[in-house]
Chains A and B, each alone.
Chain A
Amino acid sequence: MESRIRLLFLIVPALALGLSGCAATKNLLGMGDESAPPPTAEEPGQVIEPEVERREVREADIDTENFEVGAFAGIMSIEDFESDLVYGIRLAYHVTEGFFVEGTVGQSEAGLTSFERLSGGAPILSDDDRTFTYYNLNLGYNILPGEVFFGENRAYNSTLYLIAGLGSTRFAGDDRFTVNFGAGYRFLLTDAVALHIDFRDHLFDIDILGEDKTTHNLEAHLGVTVFF
């Protein structure tokens, strides 16, 4: 009798365990009736999800156009050495809507001093030393932005800007520490192409004409740049 009861006690839990075990296995394998939603409800969910993902707006994916590159040509007046053609290239990075940093490289050719012309004697500088090459790194600030109008139907963006910076000028056989400042006008033909008019003064010390003095070398140029 006692052994029969014991057997009963063993069989009942064993059956219960066995059944629940089977149910758990079914659930694990995804075979359980409750865990599987009807297939018709599942499909629309899968269709919608990728569409949302693809349209997500990410800041990094937007094309930025903060760089401006271009070329310029104009006239440079080299103090004591006449005026001549100047040409060069410019690269700018627009940091904010107001400020930009700019690097320019330019070249011109110095003419004769009035002394050389009047005396007719030996030239003060060799031809190589007459080449005037400069670079400078500037900080610029856009002022007076606005629109200009051509006739009734055309409007263009434009802005004036001020620049100031430091650089070096190779002239008369030496590199000379140069301070330059100036102003310019940027005329945007499109959002990405601009025309420039620039006026700049390059100041450096020179002593080749007998005294140590600071010279002003004025430059006016026209340029074209492209934003990228």
Chain B
Amino acid sequence: MSERSITTILSTLRSISIGRIGVLLLIASQALFADPAGAADEPATVIVADPYLEMRTGPGVGYPKFHVVDRGEAVAILKRRTDWFLVRSTEGREGWVDRAQLQLTLQPSGEPVEFTAPGLADFTNSRWEAGVLAGDFGGANILSVYGAYSLNPHVGIEVWGSQILGNFSNGWMASLNVIHETWPDWRISPFFTLGTGVIHTEPKSTIVQGEDRTDQVAHVGAGVRMYATQRFLLRAEYKSYVVFTSRDDNEEVEEWKVGFAFFF
């Protein structure tokens, strides 16, 4: 048997097995992701209503425009990254289109497409928010992340996780609080907050005395949320904590923090 025929056989075997694996994967994926409606899998299609629609190579204004779809042609919307949409023209070209342009297309029914840009209204009405804040916690550095869910524009629930890094001790804190915004539609919106949680402190290794401890805390606070741009907001707040220690006196700690957050 020549070397050539061996390689031919090998490549045939390989292509058969690859084909078989492909078929198996296809069946498996269909079984897993089978959609009874079927039609929902098809990407949404819109019709270009402006003189043209510009496609870019990437999701950003810095990427070059490489193709133009004419008025009256259809494009399928495949996916979205931030405010950019990956679309496919009828001839199979794929490119990124920004929201402002896609807004000017029409649905097959002839109605305009409605993709709203995030703005001040979403700052007030959006359900979810997440952010990072840093600042001072009774003389130590504090670094916090939070997630928030709004029950209505005025009232929300927040979950916080913080790490406290001081000169004499380190620790972490987890807390849950209610936030109330009196004027949620203002661009700079003041809020009040009330909550509870646990704080864990461990003295630094270079300090000999002291032992780890975990205590319950309660806090009240106030601050402002400031709408910055698009989905971003800035946040500054003050909280006053009471640490319910096992000693005779409770400890009081003041905290100042600033940071940024985004809503979605």
16 contacts between A and B (CB under 8 A): A54-B39, A55-B109, A56-B107, A57-B44, A61-B40, A61-B44, A62-B44, A64-B79, A65-B79, A96-B230, A99-B232, A147-B64, A157-B57, A173-B205, A175-B170, A188-B58
Among B131-145, those with CB < 8 Å from A are 132, 134, 141, 143, 145
Q: Is the CB of A166 within 8 A of B134?
A: yes
- A155 touches B (CB below 8 Å): yes
Chain A contributes a number of interface residues (CB within 8 A of B) equal to: 44
B98 to chain A, nearest CB (A): 8
Q: In the docked arrangement, what's the CA distance between A96 and B116, Å?
A: 14
Given contacts A97-B59, A175-B163, contact A62 B64 (CB under 8 A): no
- A193 touches B (CB below 8 Å): no
- B260 touches A (CB below 8 Å): yes
Q: Is the CB of A145 within 8 A of B230?
A: no
- B10 touches A (CB below 8 Å): no
- B92 touches A (CB below 8 Å): no
**Cβ proximity bits B72-95 to A, threshold 8 Å, 1 near / 0 not:** 000001111111111000000000
User: Which chain B residues border A71 with CB–CB below 8 Å?
Assistant: none
Q: In the docked arrangement, what's the CA distance between A107 and B114, Å?
A: 46
B41 to chain A, nearest CB (A): 11
Q: Which residue of A lies closest to B167 (CB)?
A: A205
- B19 touches A (CB below 8 Å): no
Q: Is the CB of B80 within 8 A of A177?
A: no
Q: Is the CB of A137 within 8 A of B57?
A: no
Q: Which residue of A lies closest to B105 (CB)?
A: A57
- A167 touches B (CB below 8 Å): yes
User: Which chain A residues border B57 with CB–CB below 8 Å?
Assistant: 147, 155, 157
Interface of A is mostly: strand
**Closest CB pairs A-B (n = 3):** A145-B62, A177-B165, A173-B205
- A58 touches B (CB below 8 Å): yes
Q: Is the CB of A174 within 8 A of B204?
A: yes
Q: Is the CB of A64 within 8 A of B204?
A: no
Q: In the docked arrangement, what's the CA distance between A153 and B258, Å?
A: 49
Q: In the docked arrangement, what's the CA distance between A32 and B158, Å?
A: 62
- A52 touches B (CB below 8 Å): yes
Q: Is the CB of A65 within 8 A of B115?
A: no
Q: Is the CB of A59 within 8 A of B108?
A: no
Interface size class of B (residues with CB under 8 A): 35 or more
Q: Is the CB of B46 within 8 A of A57?
A: yes
Q: Is the CB of A137 within 8 A of B132?
A: yes
Q: Is the CB of A142 within 8 A of B60?
A: yes
Given contacts A57-B44, A146-B63, contact A96 B107 (CB under 8 A): no
User: Which chain B residues border A133 with CB–CB below 8 Å?
Assistant: none
- A101 touches B (CB below 8 Å): yes
User: Which chain A residues border B45 with CB–CB below 8 Å?
Assistant: 55, 57
Q: Is the CB of A94 within 8 A of B145?
A: no
Contact partner, A177, options B44, B108, B141, B145, Cβ 8 Å: B141
B99 to chain A, nearest CB (A): 10
Given contacts A55-B107, A94-B82, A97-B83, contact A145 B63 (CB under 8 A): yes
Q: In the docked arrangement, what's the CA distance between A89 and B55, Å?
A: 33
Among B145-167, those with CB < 8 Å from A are 145, 163, 165
Q: Is the CB of A168 within 8 A of B163?
A: yes
Q: Is the CB of A66 within 8 A of B39?
A: no
- B21 touches A (CB below 8 Å): no
Contact partner, B81, options A98, A101, A139, A227, Cβ 8 Å: A227
Q: In the docked arrangement, what's the CA distance between A99 and B249, Å?
A: 46
**Cβ proximity bits B46-67 to A, threshold 8 Å, 1 near / 0 not:** 1000000000011111111000
User: Which chain B residues border A173 with CB–CB below 8 Å?
Assistant: 205
A111 to chain B, nearest CB (A): 20
Q: Is the CB of A95 within 8 A of B82?
A: yes
Q: Is the CB of B165 within 8 A of A175?
A: yes
User: Which chain B residues border A144 with CB–CB below 8 Å?
Assistant: 62
A110 to chain B, nearest CB (A): 15
- A211 touches B (CB below 8 Å): no
- B113 touches A (CB below 8 Å): yes
User: Which chain B residues border A62 with CB–CB below 8 Å?
Assistant: 44, 77, 79-80, 85
Among A84-108, those with CB < 8 Å from B are 94-99, 101
A183 to chain B, nearest CB (A): 16
